[in-house]
Amino acid sequence: MERDRIALRGLKFFAYHGMLREEKILGQTFIVDIDLYADLSKAGKSDQVEDTINYAEVYARIKTIVKREKYQLIERLAERIAEDVLGEFPCEGVRVVIHKPQAPIPGIFDEAFVEIYREKKR
């Protein structure tokens, strides 16, 4: 596995994922972090965007998934993002974190989140 990575942090989207009826109607903010693991040496030498992963395109893909699709579980949302990014971009692995700061938990807390790591099947 390559140790090089491209990271996007704090991608914020208002969406309608959740188990509860209120979450599906009212919506809430979700925050996405993603790491894309790929060999970046060619881009490091060439200074050309076509030799790397265009993170603006990655952002657009994530935005479309989070805002247009609806899931009960943030685990499924993370899996869906990982599947898409691995299928569409030249990376060998991805780490996806979905933060749900307003999770319906009775108590005081900063956030709930899930984190997954997936690799391309060889």
If you search the block for the tokens 């933060």, which residue do you land on? Answer: 99
- Told to judge if 42 belongs to the known catalytic residues of this protein, a careful annotator would answer no
Contact 100, 30 (CB under 8 A): yes
- For residue 84, how far is the Cα from the chain centroid? 10
Which position among 67, 100, 120, 121 bears the catalytic label?
100
Give me the residue label for tokens 């979700």. 30
Q: Catalytic positions, please?
A: 100
